[in-house]
Structure 1
Amino acid sequence: MKKFFTLLLLSFCFFANAQQRYELNSGWLCANIKDVNSNGNQISNQSFSLNNWITATVPGTVLTTLLNNKKIPDPFYGMNNERIADVYKTGNDYYTYWFVKDFDERAVGNEQVWLQFRGINYKADIFLNGKKVNPNVIEGMHLRNQFNITKMLSANGKNRLAVIVHPPDVVGNPNGGQGGDGTIAKGLTTQYTAGWDWIQPIRDRNTGIWDKVTIEKTQSINIQNPHVITLVPGKRLADGKQKPATVKVSIEVENPTNKTVAGTLQYTLAGQTIQKPVSIRANQNIEIAFPDLTLQNPKLWWPSGYGAQFLYDAQIKFVSNATTLDQENLKIGVRQIDNIWNDQTKSMGVYVNGQKIFIKGGNWIISDAMLRFTDARYDAEVRYHKDMNLNLIRIWGGAILERPEFYNACDKYGLLVFQDFWFSGDCNGRWIDPMKKDDQWTRRKYPDNHNLVLTAIEDQVKMIRNHASLAFWCGGNEITPPEDILQPLKNDILPRLDGTRILFDFSNSDEMSYNTIGGNGDGPYGIQNPRSFWANKTFPYNSEVGSVGVGDYETLEKFIPEKNMIAPQFEEKPDSVWDYHKYIGYDEYISPYGKAKDVKDFAMKAQLVNYDQYRALMEGFSSHMWEWYTGSIIWKTQNPWTALRGQMYDYYLDPNACLYGLRKGSEPLHVMMNPVDSMVNLVNNGFKTLNNLMIQAKAYDMDGKEYLSTQVFNSIGPSSVRKLFPLTGFLKKLDKKEGVFVSLRILDEKQQILSDNFYWLAGKDGAYKGLQKIKSVSPTIVAVEKVKGKVLVTLNNAKNNPVAFFNRIALIDAVSGKRILPAFYDDNYVSVPPGESKTITVEYTGNQKTALEVYGWNVERKRVEVN
C-alpha cells in the first residue's frame, strides 16, 4: 500500500509538470553586429561579458528595441519616421543584431527540453552554451522552429542563449510605391514594410525575434500539432436540442529517445474519453488518428449575431505506466462551414451549421505595424469588430498569417476569418507599375525560394487550423501565388492538413465573386454619395469596398504636431503631416455642413460624413441581400499605424463615428430608409420569422416639432429583407424645410425598442442649412457605475427642445482628463429627440476613478462625474 501511494504521488507530481511551457520574454540584451567582434560560440558562453549591451524587447523588432531605449523617435508621430535610417540606404548590418538571454533550466531523468521560436525575421543562427543549435541557417519570417536542447543544457542549470538576426536579404527600395519597388516580396516577409498607400516604410523591415520564444519540457514523448475536425450535418438552429455532431482528432507524436515508448494516447472532450494504445519507435515522429467521437446534443459555435460561441475544453495526453508523458490543452468550437454557389448573385454563399450567413466583414492588416502584439490588444480590436455587428475579418495578404492569440479572440467573439497567404497584386505582378524594379513576369515568380514558401504554409496551417473562427483560405491579395505554389497548396497541403475549408485562389477571384461589371473586382475606396450604395450594383461578394476614416480631434492630437493642426480644405493640398499620414480628402462632403473653421470643426463634420458613409454602405448591401449580394468586406476597419484613412477606430483604440455608423447599418434586425426612393426597409439576418413588429416612423424639424408619419405592424421571414412603405409623400410636405430628422424604430409587443435608426436629411439644395442654424440645447446627463467596469450614461432632452444632435460620449480618467482606451460603448454619436432619453452602456477595464465628456453638434462640451 505504501508503494502504491508513493507511485501515485510520483505520478501526480509529474502530471502537474507534464506540460511545462514558459516564455523567454524578459531579460534579453542586444548589440549591433558592428559592435561585437566575437562569434556565437563565444557570446553564448557564460564568461562572455555583456557590458554596454542594451535591454532588448523580445518578442519584438530591432526598431521596437531602439524605440524603447530612446535611440529613435516615435515613428508613428508627425514625420519622425523620416528621422530614422532606412535599411535600404544603410545596408543590412545597420539592423543586424545579436540577442542574448540567460535562463535557468536542466533536464532530470527522461525529461526532454525544447526551445521553440514562433517567428524570426529574417535569417538567424542560434547558439546555446558555446554550441550552435541550428544545423542550417533559419530563413523566413512565417515559420516556427523547434529544437531539442536537452543535451546542450549545462549541468549546473545556468544557460546562455545567443541569437543573431539579419534583415531580409532584399529589403526593397521604399520609393513610394505599393510595397516600394516590389522587391521586398523576393523574400518570405511582410510586404507592407516597404510602404503602402496607408503606411510609410518600416525602417528595419520588422527585423527581429518578432514572435514568442518558448521553453517546453516533456518526458520521453512530445505531442504536437493536434488536428480537430467537427462535422455538424443538417440545418441547425442556435437554440434547442441538437442532433449529434462528429469530432475527428489526430495528433503528431514524437519520440526523441533511443528506446521504444509504449502507452495510451487519449483525449477528453465533454466528459468523454477516447483512447488508443500506441507504440512509438525510437526517434520516430508519426501522426496518429483517434476513433471518431459522436457528441450528443452538442453546444454549437456560431458567428457573431447568430448564436453563442461555445468552446469545449479538450485535453490530449500520452500516458505510460500511469505517468503522463506529455499533454496538450485546446479549445474546440463545434461547427461546420460550407460554401454553396448562389446562382442569383453569381457569388459564393457562406453556410454555418447549415444556415445561410450574409457576410458583413472588415479587412484587417495587422494589429501593430511594428509587431507589438498583446493578448489585450487583440481582444479589444476583435471586440470592436463584434461591436460593429460584423461577422468576418479578412487578413490581408501583405502581412502575416495571424497569431493564435488573434484567433483566440475571434473564437471568443464569433468573427469568421478569411485568411490570405503572403502575396499581393502590387508586389507580385498583377499590374504594370512604373514604381517597380522588375517587370511583371519577374515579379510573378516572387518569392525566390518556393520550397521555403511551401514549408512555411504547411507549418502555419498546422498552427491555426483548429480554430473555429478560421473559415476560408485565400491564395493571395488580388493575385494567386505562382502556379508551383498554388497547385501543391490546393491539391496537397490543404486537403492533407485541413480538408474542411475552401481555398479561394485570390481575394477577388471569379470563384468567390463573379465579376460581370468590369474593373479589378473590388473597391471603390473613396467617399461616395450614400445613394450609390443602394442604387449601384457592384461585385456580388466584394472583398474590398470602403471609404474614409479620420478620427476626431482627440485622435489627431496624439500624432499631429500642434503647428500642423490645420483643417484640410476642398481642392487645396493638405498640410505635409496630413499628407505623410495618407490623408484622403473629404472634399465636397464637408461643404454641405459649412466650411470647416478649424481642425476641431473639421473633425466634428468629418464624423458626420463617417457615420453616414458606413451606415449607408452596409444598409445598401443589406437591401439587396441574396438579390445582388452574398456579402461585403469593408476596406478597411483598422490601422496598424497612425494613418488618416480606412479605420473604424484609431491606432490608439479610440473609436470614431465610422464604427457606430457601421454598427447601426449592420444590426441583425434593422429598419432603414432608402435614400433614393424614401422606401422604408426591414432586414432580418436571423433564422426565424419575426411577427408583430411595430414599425414606427417620425420626423422632426430643426425646432424639434414632431411629425408622425406612420406606425404599422409587420412581420419578416428569416434571413431576408422586406420593403415596407414609402415616406415620399410625408417628406414632400417638408420640402420647404432646410433639412429634417427622420426617426425609424422597430418595437416588439412589449413596446421595447429593437432597432432605432436616426437620419438627418439635407434641404432641397443638398446643404444642411438647418443644422447650421439649429439652437443649442443642454440635455441632462447622468452617469452611474453600479458595477465596476460598467457605466450607464443617460441623456435626457427636454420636451420643448430641438433634437440634441450627434452626441459623442467619451469615458475619461477623472484625474488626468485623458480618455480611457479602449472603452466599449453600446452606442455613440447618438441623437436624442425632444421629450426623450437615451441610455448608453460603457464598459472598460481598470481601477481608476472615471468621468465623462459629452459633446454634440448643438450640445456644448460638458464634463460629467460618474456616481
Structure 2
Amino acid sequence: MSKTTKFRLLKMLFSLLILFATFNQSSAQDQYELNSGWLCMPSTQVKAKGTEISNATFSLSGWKKAVVPGTVLTTMLENKEVPDPFFGMNNKLIPDIYETGRDYYTYWFTKDFKEAIPGADGQVWLKFRGINYSCDIFLNGKKVNDKPFKGMYLRKTFNITSLLSKSGTNRLAVIVYPPDEVGNPNGGQGGDGTIAKGVAHQYTAGWDWIRPIRDRNTGIWDKVYIERTGGVSLDNPHVVTLVPGKREASGPQQPAIIKVSAELKNTTARPVTGNLVYTMGGQKVTKSVTLKPNSTNEINLPELSFANPKLWWPAGYGKQDLYALKISFLEKGTKLCDSQTVNVGIREIQTAWNVTTKSKEVLVNGQKIFIKGGNWIISDAMLRFTDARYDTEIRYHRDMNLNLIRIWGGALIERPEFYQACDKYGMLVLQDFWMSGDCNGRWEDPMKLEDQWKRRKYPDDHHLFLESATDMIKMVRNHASLAIWCGGNEITPPDDILIPLRDSILPKLDGTRWFIDYSNSDSMSLNTIGGNGDGPYTIQDVSTFWKDRTFPFNSEVGSVGVGDLESLERFIPKANLIAPVYITPEKREAKGPSEKVDSVWDYHNYLGVGYEQHILPYGKPADVADFAKKAQLVNYDQYRGLMEGFSAHMWEWYTGVIIWKTQNPWTSMRGQMYDYYLDPNACLFGLRSGSEPLHAMYNPVDGMLMVVNNGFKGKQNIMLDARVFDMDGKETSLTKVFCFLDPASTKKVMSVKKIVDELSAKKGSFLSLQLLDENKNLLSTNLYWLADSKGGYSGLNELKGSALKMTAKQLKSGQIEVSLSNPANGPVSFFNRVSLVNAQTKKRVLPVFYEDNYFSILPGADKKIIIDYQPEKGASLPMITLTNYVGQEQTIQINP
C-alpha cells in the first residue's frame, strides 16, 4: 500500500472519529449529576456478575460508601482504610498497584437512582465524563455498553431509555479496571516509563515533584450525569468568534463574526423537521432542518455579524466579558427537544513571527500580548476537583499578574470547570496533549524499561489516543481562554498521531488556534544560535535573568517554592521539622552534597532545590523557622527578578516566558507560588510585583532604572521617584523624573549603580522605586533590599523593629480592609506578612486573597490592603496577625 493511500485511509478514519456522539461541557437543558449515594466493593470480594449486582434485589449489605466522582484511593481515604498520602511518609504505607497487581484496585461501584420511563419520544441518557481506565456498565440487570469502554479521557453517552425500570427505581453498577500498564515506580520520571503505554496520566508513576499515586487514579474520576431529551438530542455545539482588525480594549467596536454549529441526533424511526435556533446578546439566528430517522448530523447555522461586541481580553489588558448563548432544537418550530447554554467570550487568537526575537508572538483581537505564564500540572493529584478550588487557583494566577497557564502533557486536558475559571479571570491556556519527552522516548534513560525506539511508539493504541483527542477538543473548544494546542511535553507525538491531529482533526473541529507540535518546538522560538529549549530549573543569581539571554519564548524556567513554617507544619511531622544543614566545603566529601536534608523533606521533593548559596548571605539558619523565613526572602527576590529580567528585554529578546511551575497537586516543595493547601508563599507576591502591568525596576547588573508598560496605550507624565534608605531609615533621594512611555514597551531611565553601591557598601540598603501619576497618586511601588560590598545582608541582621500602627475593618461579608502606618524618623518596616487567622485557633484561614503581602513600608508612609475570603456560615469574625522580618508580631481584632 502506498504512503498516499495510507494517508487517505487515515483521513477517512479520523473523519469518522469526529462524528462520534459525545456531549459538551456546556449546561444542558434537563440533566442532573449522580454525585452522592454511591457504594463500592473490591471485585475480589464480589462473586456475583454485573447482571446480578445491578438488580435491585441484590443485597448491598456490607458495601462501603464510595466517592464519585473520585478514585479508589479517595474512597479508601474517605473510609479511613489508608492514611493521608500527602502527609509525612504515609504514602509509603499504602500498597502500590505494581506490587499488589491490578485486581487489588479493581472495584465495583453501584448507585440507586429514581428515573421514570419517559412518555412519547422522550429519551434518557447516561453520561460519563471520565473513567480510568476501562469498565463494564450494567443497569437493572442488563449490560449497557455493547462495546469496550477504555481510555481515561473518553466521555461516553448511553441511551438507557429502554433499560429503565417500570417502577422508576434503577440500579447502576460499574466495574472499573485499573490501567493495563501501571508502570514500575522506580524513581524515574514516570517510573520505568511504561505508564505511557496507556492513554492516561503519566505522573501517577512518580516524577521529580511527586511520589507515585498508588492506585494510578483508578475510578469513576469525573462527573456522571442523567440527561432527559426529546426525540432529538443536541450535542457538541461549536461557537467560533472572529474579530477582524486591531481592536482597543474599550470603547465602541466594529462588528464581530459569530459562527455556530451543533450535532443533532434523531433517535426516532421517523423523519423529524424543526428549527435549530440560538440566541445571544438579544439576537436570534434560526435554521430549518429535516433529520432522517436514526441519524446524526452536524448543522451549521448562518453567520451572525454581531454589532458593537463587548470583547474578551487576557488579564491585565481589558475586561473578560462573556455572553450566554442558548442553542435549542424545536421540533416543528415549537416543541423543545433539547438545548444547551454556552458562555462565549468574543475574541480571536492570532500569532505572528517576531523577526527581532526570532519567536512567535501571541495576539488577541489584533493586539500583541507579552506572555507571562505559569506551568500547571493538575489541581489535585488524586483528582479531588471542585469548582471552588479551581476558582481559587486561577484567581491566584490572575493576582500574580500572569496571563497564561500551560497544562503540562503528563496530566490531562483540563476540566471545563478549570476553563470556566480561566474565562472568568482572563487566563489564556496552552493545552498539551498526553506526551512527555521522559516517558515517550526523547532521551536515553537507564530508569526506563524499554529503549527509546519502543518508547517513541507509545501509547500502544494510537487509535484510542486520537479518539480521545477528538472528544477532548469538542469538550473545551468553546472556551475563550483556550489559546494554544500543543502536541506534547518536549516531544512530538508519533507521526501517525501528529499528522491527523494537526492536519485533519484540529482543523475540522477547531481550526482557530495556534498548534505547536511540542512544547519547546523550533516553530515556537529559536535562540541566537538556532534551536529552542527550556530552563534553567535551579535558583539563579538574580542578575542572570537580566544579562543572560535564553530562549525567546521559554516554555519552562524556574524552580523554588518552599513555604513558610506554618505551611511546612501541615505535611511534615513535628519530629522532622529540621532545617537543612549546610555542609562547609572542608567537611564535604568529594563531589558530595552541600546540604543534609531530613528524609521527609527529601520524600517531599526538597532535595535538589538548592537554596544554600542564596540563604547563607542572610546568615546560617538558626532553626527551621529561621530557614523558612529566609527562604521567603529568596522566593520573593527570585521570582520578582525572573519576570523583571524577561520584561526588561520584552520584544527585544523575548515574546514570552512560562514559569516552571506555579502550583503543586500534592505536598511537594518544588516550584509553587502557594502550597497544596492554597496558602501563598512569598513567590506569589514577588512574582506579582515583577509582573505588574506598569512597573519600575532596577537592573542589578548595570544599575539602570527602568519602567515597563505592558498596556496598549502610552503613558504620559508618569513620575519615577527613586530613593535609598539605610538600615536606620535615613533617606537619600536618587531622582524624581517624569517618564513618557510608549505602548507595550520598556524604557531605560538612568543608571544609579555607582551611588547605590556606595550607599550599600557597609551594611546594605533599601532601594525604593515608586511610580506616581499627575495627581501624585501612587501607581506602583517596588522595594529592593541590597547586599553589602561582601555580598551579604549584614544590615538586615541588625535591623531594628518598627512597630506599625494597624487597624482592620470589615467592608462587607468576606472582605476586610487593613490600614497600616509606619512612624516617621524610624527604619523601614521590612517584609511584613499579614495573615487572616481563626479567632480561636490562631491558624490561618484558607484560602485568602491578599491585595499585597510580604511588603515593606517606608518611614512615615501608610498602606492599605484589601483581604478577600469566603466566610464559613455562622463563624465569628477572624483576626489579623502581622509579623515582620525582625520577628515582631501583632494580633488585632477586626471592627465589624
TM-score range, shorter chain: over 0.9
Asked whether the equivalents of residues 804 and 858 of structure 1 are also in contact (C-alpha less than 8 Å), the reply is no
Match of 1:63 among 73, 76, 79: 73
Query: Counterpart of 2:830 in 1: which secondary structure?
Result: strand
Partner Cα separation in structure 2 for residue 189 and residue 508 of structure 1:
22
- Deviation for aligned residue 1:736: 3.7
CA distance, structure 2, for counterparts of residue 735 and residue 129 of structure 1: 79
1:788 aligns with 2:799: no
1:860 corresponds in structure 2 to: 888
Give distance in 2, aligned partners of 1:859 and 1:827.
19
Instruction: Supply the distance in 2 between the matched residues of 1:292 and 1:859 (Cα, whole angstroms).
Output: 64
Which of the residues 162, 166, 170 maps onto 1:155?
166
**1:833 positional shift:** 1.0
- Structure 1 residue 518, shift from structure 2 partner: 7.5
**Counterpart Cα distance in 1 of 2:444 and 2:772:** 55
Per the alignment, residue 510 of structure 1 pairs with 522
Quote how far apart the aligned CAs of 1:19 are. Answer: 2.0
**C-alpha distance after superposition, 1:239-298 (max 9, x if no partner):** 111011000000000011112111111000110100000111111111000000001111
Task: State the Cα distance separating 1:692 from its structure 2 match.
Answer: 0.6
Provide the C-alpha distance between the structure 1 equivalents of 2:170 and 2:886, rounded to a whole number of angstroms.
Answer: 65
Map Cα deviations across residues 95-144 of structure 1 (whole Å, 9 max, x no partner).
Answer: 00000000000222221000000000001000000000001121000110
Deviates more, 1:83-92 or 1:321-330: 321-330
How far apart are 1:520 and its partner, in Å? 6.8
Encode CA deviations 1:348-400: one digit per residue, 9 max, x unaligned.
11000000100000000000000000000000000000000000000000000
Q: CA deviation at 1:777?
A: 1.9
Query: Are positions 1:83 and 2:87 aligned together?
Result: no
Which residue is 2:763 aligned to?
738
State the match for 2:506 in structure 1.
494
Q: What SS does the corresponding residue of 2:319 show, helix, strand or coil?
A: coil
- 1:390 paired with 2:413, answer no
Q: Deviations over 1:405-448 (max 9, x none)?
A: 00000000000000000000000000000000000000000000
Partner residue of 1:343 out of 355, 380, 391: 355
Cα deviation, residue 480, structure 1: 0.4
Whole-angstrom distance in 2 between the partners of 1:763 and 1:472: 45
- Where does residue 459 of structure 2 map in the other structure? 447
Aligned to 1:46: 56
Other-structure match for 1:104:
114
Q: Distance in 2 between matches of 1:725 and 1:516?
A: 28
Q: State how far apart, in whole Å, the 1-side matches of 2:127 and 2:757 are.
A: 69
1:332 aligns with 2:325: no
Distance 2:220 2:823 in 1: 59
SS of the residue corresponding to residue 590 of structure 1 reads helix
Q: 2:421 matched to which residue of 1?
A: 409
CA contact (8 A) 1:190 1:398 kept: yes
- 2:10 maps to which residue? none
Structure 1, residues 656-690: CA drift from partner, whole Å, max 9, x if none? 00000000000001110001011000100101111
1:193 pairs with 2:204: yes
The DSSP-based 3-state class of the residue aligned with 2:596 is coil
- Contact 2:400 2:687 (C-alpha < 8 Å) held by counterparts: yes
Contact 2:757-2:789 at 8 Å conserved across structures: no
Map residues 594-605 of structure 1 onto 2, 5 A cutoff. Answer: 594-605=619-630
State the SS of the aligned residue for 1:277.
Answer: strand
2:602 alignment partner in structure 1: 579
Q: Is the 8 A contact 2:717 2:739 kept in 1?
A: yes
**2:521/2:532 contact within 8 Å kept:** no
1:304 and 2:304 equivalent?
A: no
Cα distance in 1 for partners of 2:488, 2:517 equals 7
CA distance in structure 2 between the partners assigned to 1:602 and 1:676 by the alignment: 28
Aligned to 1:134: 145
What does 1:276-675 align with in structure 2 at a 5 Å threshold? Answer: 276-321=287-332, 322-516=334-528, 521-570=533-582, 571-583=594-606, 584-675=609-700
Secondary structure of the residue aligned to 2:738 is strand
Q: Which residue of 1 aligns with 2:136?
A: 125
CA drift at 1:519:
8.5
Corresponding residue of 1:5: none
AA paired with 1:412?
K
Question: Partner residue of 1:241?
Answer: 252
State the shift of 1:151 in Å. 0.4
1:774-805 CA-to-partner distances (Å, cap 9, x unmatched) read 11221111111121111111221111221110
Is residue 720 from structure 1 mapped to residue 732 from structure 2 by the alignment?
Answer: no
Structure 2 letter corresponding to 1:255: N
Secondary structure of 2:492's aligned partner: coil
Give the aligned residue type for 2:371. I
Task: Tell whether the 8 Å contact from 2:833 to 2:882 is kept in structure 1 after alignment.
Answer: yes
Answer with 814-823 or 364-373: which moved more: 814-823
| CA apart distance, 1:735 | 4.4
Structure 2 contact 760–786 (Cα < 8 Å) conserved: no
Query: How many corresponding residue pairs?
Result: 851
Residues 619-648 of structure 1, C-alpha deviations (whole Å, 9 max, x = no match): 000000000000000000000000011000
Partner Cα distance (2:820, 2:703) in 1: 29
Deviations 1:514-561 (A, max 9, x none): 144578710111110000000000000000001200001110000000
Q: 2:845 aligns with which of 816, 820, 828?
A: 820
CA contact (8 A) 1:58 1:211 kept: yes
1:18 Cα deviation from its structure 2 partner? 8.6
- Aligned residue number for residue 127 of structure 2: 116
Q: Deviations over 1:558-614 (max 9, x none)?
A: 000000000012322200000000002311111011100111110000000000000
Structure 1 residues 518, 545: CA separation in 2 closer, same or farther (over 3 Å shift)? farther
Contact 1:18 1:219 in 2 (8 A): no
CA contact (8 A) 1:657 1:829 kept: yes
Is the CA contact (8 Å cut-off) linking 1:742 and 1:759 kept in structure 2? Answer: yes
Instruction: For 2:856, give the aligned amino acid.
Output: S
Q: Which amino acid aligns with 2:63?
A: W
Which of the residues 269, 278, 284 maps onto 1:258?
269
Asked whether the 8 Å contact 2:274–2:329 carries over to 1, the reply is: yes
Amino acid at match of 1:802: P
* Counterpart for residue 4 of structure 1: none
Secondary structure of residue in 2 paired with 1:658: helix
Distance 1:716 1:39 in 2: 73
CA distance in 2, matches of 1:68, 1:240: 52
8 A contact 1:517–1:538 mirrored in 2: no
Q: Distance in 1 between matches of 2:28 and 2:743?
A: 49
What is the alpha-carbon distance in structure 1 between the residues aligned to residue 824 and residue 780 of structure 2? 22
Could you tell me how far apart the structure 1 residues matched to 2:106 and 2:699 are? 57
User: What amino acid maps onto 1:631 in structure 2?
Assistant: G
Distance in 1 between the 2:251 and 2:459 partners? 50
Contact preservation (8 Å) 1:18, 1:218: no
Quote the Cα distance in structure 1 between the aligned partners of 2:52 and 2:353. 61
- Aligned equivalents of 1:384 and 1:678: distance in 2? 31
Q: 2:189 aligned with 1:168, yes or no? A: no
Distance in 1 of aligned mates of 2:245 and 2:299: 29
